[in-house]
Amino acid sequence: VYTNVFIGPAKLAEIPEGYVPKHWEYYKHPITRFLARYVFTSHQQEYEKYMHLLYEEDEKMKIRALERKVRDLMEERADYQAYYYRPVSGKYVRQAKRQREAIEESSGVSLD
């Protein structure tokens, strides 16, 4: 009620030369203009967000295709250590060997 009495609906006027209206200035009612300006995103922003989403999905699709090609070539040739290959560190083997030798030395029993 306050906006209808004191502010009122927007009136059409000539747009000055060189002036580009903001996206919220196209709405007639002041509450709608307020919501369009501060709450909702503009149509252009929504469009650009959607285009970015499509771009990201396209990039993911290209990466997945490349990974699939790499995986197929590795399977075909079978001569690569790939990301499924987990190298074993010799540190733990040497540590276990030292412990076994210490137990054998202290007890006099061979653990072989």
- pLDDT, tens digit, 9 for 90 and up, residues 76-104: 887 777 766 777 789 998 999 999 999 99
Note the pLDDT of residue 74: 83
Q: Determine the Cα angle at 8 with ends 5 and 10, to 5°.
A: 180
**Across the chain, what does the average pLDDT equal?**
88
CA dihedral 13, 17, 18, 24 (to 10 degrees): 0
Note the pLDDT of residue 2: 75
Note the pLDDT of residue 11: 83
Note the pLDDT of residue 108: 81
Convert the pLDDT of each residue in 5-53 to its tens digit: 777 788 888 889 999 999 999 898 989 999 999 999 999 999 999 999 9
Distance, CA of 31 to CA of 33 (rounded, Å): 5
Q: Is 18 left (phi over 0), alpha (psi -120 to 50) or beta?
A: left
Note the pLDDT of residue 65: 98
Note the pLDDT of residue 58: 99
